[in-house]
Amino acid sequence: MLFLADFSVIKPDPGLLIWTTVIFGLFWFLMSRFAFKPIAESLKKRESDIQYSLDEAKRVREEMANLQAENEKLLQQAREERTQMLKEAKEAAEEYRAEKKALADQEYRRKVESALQDIENQKLAAMVALQNQAGQLAVEIAEKVLRKELADKSAQEAYAKNLAESIKLN
C-alpha cells in the first residue's frame, strides 16, 4: 500500500518540470551553438573535401589517360615522321647522288671533249709545226741541192724553169 503512495516519480513535479525545461533549453542552445555547429561544419567540409579529392583524383586519372593516349599518338606520329624523313632523306640522297653523277659525267664528257679538242689542237699545231719544219727542211735541202746543182749556170736556169712549172701545177 505504501508502494503507490510513495511512487513519486510518476507525479509531475512543477519544480522539476521548470528546471528540466530551463536546463534542457540551455543545453540545446549551447550545444547547437558551440558544439554541434562547428562539428557539423567540419564534417560537411571534410565530406566535401573528400568528395572533391575523389573527383579530382578521377579527373587527374582521366587526364593522365588522355595524356598517355596523346603521347602514344604523338609517338606514333613521330615514328611515322621519322620513317617519312628517312625515306625522304634517302630519296634526296639518291637524287643528289644521281645529280652529282650526271654532273660528273657531264664534266667528264666535257673534259674528254676538251682533251680531244686539245689533242686536235695540238695535232693541228704539231702538223703545222711539222709542216713548217718539213718546209724548212725541204727548203734547206732544196737550198743545199740547189746550191750543189746550181753550181753551174745552166743547171740553175733549168731548175728554175722546172720549179716554175711545178708551182704552176700546184
| Of 6 and 152, CB closest to other proteins | 6
Asked if 36 is part of the footprint of other proteins (rule: CB under 8 A), the reply reads yes
The set of residues, in sequence order, having a beta carbon less than 8 Å from that of 155 and lying 6+ positions away, is 149
**Cell numbers standing for residue 45:** 567540409
Instruction: State which residue, 12 or 151, has the beta carbon closest to other proteins.
Output: 12
Which amino acid is located at 126 in the chain? A
Q: Given the complex with other proteins, which of 11 and 153 has the nearer CB atom?
A: 11
Distance CA 28, CA 25 (A): 5
The nearest distance, CB 59 to other proteins, in angstroms, is 20
27/105 Cα distance (integer angstroms): 110
Site residues for other proteins, window 2-31 (CB under 8 A)? 2-21, 23-24, 26-28, 30-31
For residue 58, the minimal CB distance to other proteins (Å) is 20
**Number of other residues whose CB lies within 10 A of the CB of residue 162:** 10
Residues that bind other proteins (CB under 8 A): 1-21, 23-24, 26-28, 30-32, 34-43, 45-46, 49
